[in-house]
Amino acid sequence: MTTDRDQILLWIEEERDEIVALLQRLVRARSPNPPGDTLAAAAIVRERLDAEALPYRIIDPNPVMPNFVGTFDGGLKGRHLVLNGHIDVFPVASDHGWSRDPWSGDIVDGKLYGRGAADMKPGTTASIVTYALLHRLRDRLKGRLTLTAVSDEETFGPWGARWLMDHEPEVLGDCCLNGEPSGPNTIRFGEKGPLWLRFTVRAPGAHGAYTHTGSATLTATRLIGELERLEDLPVDLPHNVMAAIDEASAAADVAMGQGAGAIVGKVTLNVGLLNGGVKVNMIPSECTFEADIRLPPGMSRERVMAEVERMVGNHPGVEVEETGCNLPSYCDPYGEMVGILQANVQALAGHKPTPIVGLGGTDARLWRYRNIPAYVYGVYPHGMGSHDEHVDIEEFLHVVRTHALSAYDYLMAS
């Protein structure tokens, strides 16, 4: 007897070429943000949803950044699961470093190349396919399933998921499943939050030989050295969350690069912009730098800002301005969806993914801010935000299978 789970896997196998072609078309549809125009990619999403006669609405507070929201109810009462993905991608600064056209969607040796091929058009495709397949089973399904395929994630979502969370209660649900690149060996239950600060340092300025007058650039470098000590600030987390972070160090290294596990639970500092001076033999009278400070779960903005302001107070002539902040977020590292994902990955791929906290941000945080558990399971971030971004096609199809089965299992367990 063929079960619904068997049928889901059979459909994915029968339609694998069509699923890969959908991802390829999405990658070829340019949707860099900034500037944020996702209309070409949105047309492909709309075509796929229409071909399956799926229910959806287009919500576009910014007319060139449409969002798709689709919902259907199963034949039986139950819980509400939300699928979330985005269709905008990082811009391509230049073709330098790319071995092929970054918008080609070329498939070479089982890998699909192009901007968005990891972040996150595979995950969004997995959400669309999951929504379509479970819609075919809706009469036997419990609960409600909602698809959110949004724009504007790369600039923190004022016209995308953030807009939907504030204006469309349909998208809240009881749990969220997201396909951002995470690596199939991990499940992200939380993420660090960026705190962006701009520092302006002023000094009298003088001829380059008159160093006794003070230098804005030297003051800036000394302050940057002090800011590095922010990583020593202690964090305050529930025991089970801290235990999960500690246990996931090796898995974090695999998913995000060697050394990632050591910084997941710490404040980190990146000085992304530094400007000062006019001429080599003039002492600069002004220097500005912008810092990206990442807050781990358990660290408040207020605690870090108090320490930053203390450090700034040691250097007359320095001003600091906050230019952006998204707070860290986390949910239960051992929640029900984690167990469902782990069981499916174990059955499909023979390994058990580890719950971790991600270094970068995703829209999943918006659900966690509302105390709704939100989990991320996706492909490896090969070339994400860099060059030769790509995805292994078999790995992508594994993520599709995992999302479809896990969404089914979550709803049917209600």
**Residue 166 CB neighbours (<10 A):** 10
Decide: helix, strand or coil at residue 18.
Answer: helix
Instruction: Give the pair of three-digit tokens for residue 85.
Output: 């993905």
The more confidently predicted of residues 248 and 189 is 189
pLDDT band at 168 (very low <50, low <70, confident <90, very high): very high
Domain count, the chain: 2
Residue 4, pLDDT > 90, answer yes
Distance CA 405, CA 247 (A): 27
State the Cα angle at 70 between 400 and 188, rounded to 5°: 45
Same domain, 34 and 163: yes
Does the residue 247 lie in any domain?
Answer: no
Same domain, 350 and 211: no
Decide: helix, strand or coil at residue 349.
Answer: helix
Decide: helix, strand or coil at residue 231.
Answer: helix
Mean pLDDT of 107-129: 97
Distance CA 268, CA 192 (A): 10
Does the residue 122 lie in any domain?
Answer: yes
Distance CA 129, CA 2 (A): 20
| 58 secondary structure, DSSP code | E
Same domain, 43 and 56: yes
Question: Half-sphere exposure (CA, 13 Å, Cβ side) for 97?
Answer: 12
Question: SS3 breakdown of the chain: % helix, strand, coil, rounded to 5?
Answer: 40, 25, 35
Task: Identify the pLDDT of residue 348.
Answer: 98
Let me know if 85 is exposed, middle or buried by CB neighbors in 10 A (0-12, 13-18, 19+).
Answer: buried
Same domain, 159 and 23: yes
Cβ atoms of 400 and 127 closer than 8 Å? no
The residues, any chain, with a CB within 8 Å of residue 413's CB and separated by 6 or more, are: 336, 340
pLDDT band at 229 (very low <50, low <70, confident <90, very high): very high
**Residue 15 CB neighbours (<10 A):** 16
In terms of residue numbers, what domain contains 280?
A: 193-238+253-325
pLDDT digits (tens, 9 = 90+) for 256-313: 889 989 999 999 999 999 999 999 998 999 999 999 999 999 999 999 999 999 999 9
Does the residue 376 lie in any domain?
Answer: yes
Among 306, 325, 344, residue at a domain's last position = 325
Q: Any long-range contacts for 344-352 (C-beta under 8 Å, 24+ apart)?
A: 344/401, 344/402, 344/405, 344/406, 344/409, 345/184, 345/377, 345/402, 348/398, 348/401, 348/402, 348/405, 349/184, 349/398, 351/184, 351/185
Sign of the torsion angle spanned by Cα atoms 275, 281, 286, 292: positive
Crossing angle for the helix pair 249-256 and 239-247, nearest 10 degrees?
A: 60
Cβ atoms of 29 and 40 closer than 8 Å? yes
Same domain, 381 and 282: no
Does the residue 78 lie in any domain?
Answer: yes
Task: Identify the pLDDT of residue 257.
Answer: 86
Same domain, 64 and 165: yes
pLDDT digits (tens, 9 = 90+) for 331-356: 999 999 999 999 999 999 999 999 99
Crossing angle for the helix pair 16-28 and 39-51, nearest 10 degrees?
A: 160
Does the residue 307 lie in any domain?
Answer: yes
Rounded percentage of the chain residues whose pLDDT exceeds 90: 86
Same domain, 158 and 23: yes
Question: 187 forms bridges with which residues in the sheet?
Answer: 355
The residues, any chain, with a CB within 8 Å of residue 266's CB and separated by 6 or more, are: 231, 235, 296
CATH value at residue 46? 3.40.630.10
Does the residue 245 lie in any domain?
Answer: no
Does the residue 217 lie in any domain?
Answer: yes
Same domain, 223 and 81: no
For residue 226, the surrounding DSSP H or E stretch is helix 216-227
- Cα distances (angstroms) measured from residue 155 to each of 136, 152, 239: 35, 6, 33
The number of angstroms, rounded, from the C-alpha of 5 to the middle of its chain's C-alpha atoms is 28
Round the average pLDDT of the chain to a whole number and report it.
95
Same domain, 312 and 380: no
State the Cα angle at 402 between 41 and 161, rounded to 5°: 40
Amino acid identity of residue 226, one-letter, is: E
Among 264, 299, 325, residue at a domain's last position = 325
C-alpha Rg value of the chain to the nearest Å: 23
CATH value at residue 265? 3.30.70.360
Same domain, 358 and 376: yes
Task: Identify the pLDDT of residue 87.
Answer: 98
pLDDT digits (tens, 9 = 90+) for 354-385: 999 999 889 999 999 999 999 999 999 999 98
Distance CA 328, CA 368 (A): 10
Among 325, 345, 362, residue at a domain's last position = 325
Same domain, 169 and 274: no
pLDDT digits (tens, 9 = 90+) for 28-48: 999 999 999 999 999 999 999
Distance CA 52, CA 8 (A): 15
Does the residue 246 lie in any domain?
Answer: no
Residue 157, pLDDT > 80, answer no
The more confidently predicted of residues 358 and 238 is 358
Same domain, 30 and 105: yes
Sign of the torsion angle spanned by Cα atoms 247, 252, 258, 262: negative
